[in-house]
Amino acid sequence: MTLQQYLLYIVSPIICLALIIIFIRFLKGPKVVDRVIAIDLIITSGVGLIGVFCIIYDIPSFLDVATILALIAFLSTIAFAYYIDQGDKNGKR
Amino acid sequence: MSEILIMVLCTLGALFILIAALGIYRMPDFYTRLSVTVKASTLGVGCILGAVAIYFYDFSVSTKVFAIIFFLFITSPVAAYMISRTAYLSGVKLWKGSVVDELQNSEYLKDGEPTASKPEQPKPNDQIPPSL
């Protein structure tokens, strides 16, 4: 079993299973903040999946996408936190 | 030799991401979910990106990988702090088995906002004397 086959048939299904479990939490989440951290975790796991794909297909250019995704995860969490905080001050949720 | 190292690092990273997913699915409370998620997922992604850096063995790829890991390790605690502060201020309750709530009677909360666990005591200045 070569390295590419190992990554393709064992490691990436584990990450995909993790993504499915996180998505169930995203659908169930009782509050908005649960969904926000579920989205954060989905994007962070996506960075890991992109790293695995880099090794499988031998293309290092995918790491640029991983950089942008890591930035978007941070910005989206901060933006949602600011939005929920401001909405609470005006009496809405 | 380096293939075995890459396999071990990728497997460790995938298992840490799976542990983070199980934690966010099984934990009873928002704060415990957040506490599991941030550490485990950051460590898992760090392991996988380290494997990428070992596989390519190139200066430009290593620089990108180091930038991503540095960015994740810096920003994810900040994001977790921001979202947990917002959750506490917006009234997300703690789990009923939680032992300590240090922000319960703290001055950290802003004036006049309802807290999560119990409402604030009415201030003595606001009370109008009933009989005049």
More confident residue, B106 or B17: B17
Q: What is the mean pLDDT of residues B106-125?
A: 55
Nearest to B35 by CA among B90, B95, B91, B104: B95
CB B58 within 8 A of CB A52: no
Do B83 and A55 count as a contact with CB atoms less than 8 A apart?
no
> Chain-centre distance of CA B50, in angstroms?
22
Q: Is B94 on the interface with A (CB under 8 A)?
A: no
Sign of CA dihedral A29, A90, A85, B98: negative
Partner B contacted by A24 (CB < 8 A): yes
Instruction: Give the mean pLDDT of chain A.
Output: 90
Angle A14-B24-A4 (CA atoms, 0-180°, nearest 5)? 15
Query: Is pLDDT above 90 for B95?
Result: no
Could you report the predicted ipTM of this complex, rounded to two decimals? 0.90
pLDDT exceeds 60 at position B113: no
Best A2, A6, A7 residue to mutate vs chain B (most B CBs within 10 Å): A7
pTM higher than 0.95: no
Range B62-71 average pLDDT: 93
